[in-house]
Structure 1
Amino acid sequence: MAPLTILVASYTDSIYTLSFDPTPPTGSPTLDLLARTPVGYRPSWIASHPSDKSLIYTGLEQTDGEVVAIKYGSGGTVEGGDVVARAKSGGADPCTLLVTEDELIIGNYNSGTIATLPISTSAPYILSPNPWTLSMPFEHVGRNKARQSSSHPHQIIFNPLNQKEKELLIPDLGVDKVWRLTKRSDGKWSICGHIDFGAGGGPRHIAARGTTLYTLLELTSKLAVHAFPPLPASPTHLTSIFTLSAPLPVPDNMIAAEILLPEPNASFPGTFIYTSNRNDPNPEGDTIAIFSLAAGEGQPELVNEVRTGLNHVRGMEFGGEDDKYLVVGGVEGGGVKVFERIDGGKGLEEIAKLSADVVGCPTGFLWY
């Protein structure tokens, strides 16, 4: 197998390019730094263009938010990229991006705005310097005042359960809702509904399978499960379970971080949800919780917790053939590690790593 390339977002000033070789001629799998591409302060999220994987967008998570377009090699193992465009993000601290064929959709965490920019796969790449913005609604209703003083959109994805109608789902940590947005006749996005969660839950990221939506609640470290029919029908709450077998004191500022739900395949026919948990005081580092859906979509069961040896696991991503490998990073210690799925997907085994002095403050990943 040829080496695989991994791009790493970070809380530094750079996007890192790594080479992961799962089958070197001699020895164990290797993980090496190929390049470091300076782009600006805290490029914490990266996403590729759907039809041109060499075109990468990142958000600079800073008060005067920016988005940056980076062009990499057209195929094979790549090294550093070239910054080809910049624009304002339409708010403060852009922490999530969704790239469509002709539109960049941006979630600005601290200003509570969703913004869009027209884009192209050729120069000038970002077609307007002025983003269109939508302010998310906010009411102060007895929430976690330390973390929920305004709207905080934390992810933007298309509803994976309704491919016919383009609908955005936006977990909003600040208002304990997942917003549902559809496009108006003028091509702009507008709110058409929402899912409510208990006060102080803090919806962060979501995943879906079949007819079921799974929402990771950052502030209470829970996985909320909903039956999720298409609009105009309303979702139904099925259950909520902790992402830790021994939950830490609640409320807490920052625990549950990422949720992944890889598609079953020939190598891993079972269905599992993987969630990361940050800031665990255990000396063996943060955990990745693994939930089985063997009992049904609406009945996730915690079947394993894997200690990572990392501190403040913020992002992780599956890649390689049959999503065999999981790359994970510790923002506050431990560097970057690659795990291999074992036991049919029920377990993870560390097989390669890079120290924190080589890759600093990793926040997100993209298998190139």
Structure 2
Amino acid sequence: MGTSVDGRRAYVGSFTTAGGLGITTAAVDPESGALTPLHSTDAVPNPSYLAPSPDGRYLYAVSETPDGAAAAFALTPRGPELLAPAVPVDGADPTHLTLAGGRLITANYSSGSVSTLPIRADGTLAGPATVLTHQGSGPRTDRQEGPHAHAVLPDPGGRWLLSVDLGTDSVRSCALGAGDGTLTVHAEAGLRPGSGPRHLAFHPRGDRAYVVNELDPTVTICRWDADRGVLTPLGETRLLPDGAATEDTFPSVLVVSRDGRFAWAANRGHDSLSVLSLSASGDTATLVTTVPCGGHWPRDLALHPDGRHLYAANERSGDVTWFTVDPATGIPARGGSVPAPAASCVVFV
């Protein structure tokens, strides 16, 4: 595939139904972190979340639509090229996906389910999907009338899959069947009722996890026991300063620094990035400050693999803004931005 100076490309997902370009490829300046858009493809509608294969040959995308599908792309010097027609996930509005155990797994928001699809040797996806449907609800009847799976990811050891459900205020630890890809719920960690968990990120040490909550701007710090497959909440930290209005703020995602000293969360509505200092044990997170996200409605936040630059996908202002992180304080300084209509996700290959 084509390379930028440091051999990496950025791929930006977006909502085509809101004017997005689909998947945009951008070159990355290794020093400044600046993005230079190169080309885009709208081969599938609403590729709102992306995941590259470990070998960097393929890129996978959800198609966040009521019918719900996932698609595989080959990464070429000309940009991502659709390998085959998108495959149904048998779930509505898939918002997130990951790769594990030779399968692609999606979290389907509206149907409150998690789907798995086999990945063939040539990178293409096979069907039909194997589906696990969540059960339950929460106290917020406007948003938690039923399950709403919002994210799914493997634990650092690769033994378990964790499914984050906004509608049931819980995170499920699941085992992935080696044969047919059947998901089996092994344990379910209950979070504070009404918190609305949305995304999860692990500490680089692997024994702590941080769940960002959408319905109340907080992060829940958890202990992760990989041997038992059990997630245990330890405490919460608010993502906004004391006195800040919270009723119109909806956190979207959290990322952790490679050395485990800092974490950053994106806050839609407040349009900010929260800077958190993590204790040496990882058991506590302290809000250091918030900084403007550089646009409106930061739906995604990504850390460049070099650990020096952060990227906010600002959905409603239609741009991706990059920041340089101060290694001593963790505070990001705005570097610049590029237009990216209805941006929803940034990944690097």
3-state secondary structure, aligned to 2:149:
coil
Amino acid of the residue matched to residue 8 of structure 1? V
Tell me which residue corresponds to 1:83. Answer: 82
Tell me which residue corresponds to 1:206: 200
Aligned AA (1:202) = G
* CA displacement 1:316-349 (0-9 Å, x = unmatched): 21115x3111111210015111111114252111
Q: Deviations over 1:234-263 (max 9, x none)?
A: 5443221111114655555x6111110122
Give the 3 Å change call, closer, same or farther, for CA 362–191 of structure 1 in structure 2. same
In structure 2, how many angstroms separate the alpha carbons of the residues matched to 1:102 and 1:121?
9
Partner of 1:150: 146
One of 298, 301, 306 as aligned partner of 2:286 = 301
Correspondence for 2:266: 276
Matches for 1:1-368 after TM superposition, within 5 Å? 2=5, 4-12=8-16, 14-23=22-31, 30-51=34-55, 53-73=56-76, 78-85=77-84, 86-100=86-100, 102-122=102-122, 125-128=124-127, 130-138=128-136, 140=137, 143-160=139-156, 163=157, 166-184=159-177, 187=180, 188-209=182-203, 210=205, 211-230=207-226, 232=228, 235-246=231-242, 249=245, 255-264=250-259, 271-280=261-270, 286-294=271-279, 296-320=281-305, 322-333=306-317, 335-355=319-339, 359-368=340-349
SS at the partner of 2:48? strand
C-alpha distance after superposition, 1:151-185 (max 9, x if no partner): 1111111122xx2x611111100100001101357
Q: Distance in 2 between the 1:42 and 1:194 partners? A: 30
Normalising by the residue count of structure 1, what TM-score does the alignment of the two structures yield? 0.85
The residue type paired with residue 363 of structure 1 is: S
Code of the residue aligned with 1:319 in structure 2: it is: H
Q: Larger C-alpha radius of gyration, 1 or 2?
A: 1
Tell me the number of residue pairs that the alignment of Structure 1 and Structure 2 aligns: 337
Q: Is the 8 A contact 1:50 1:100 kept in 2?
A: no
> Is the 1:206–1:213 Cα contact (8 Å) retained in structure 2?
yes
The CA deviation string for residues 273-303 of structure 1, in whole angstroms up to 9 with x for no partner, is: 11110012xxxxx111111124531121111
Structure 1: distance between partners of 2:230 and 2:38: 48
* Seq. identity, %: 24
Per-residue displacement from partner, 1:200-247 (whole Å, max 9, x unpaired)?
111111122243221111101111112232354754432211111146
Q: Tell me, which stretches of 5 or more residues in structure 2 are unaligned?
A: none
List runs of 5+ in structure 1 lacking aligned partners: 265-269, 281-285
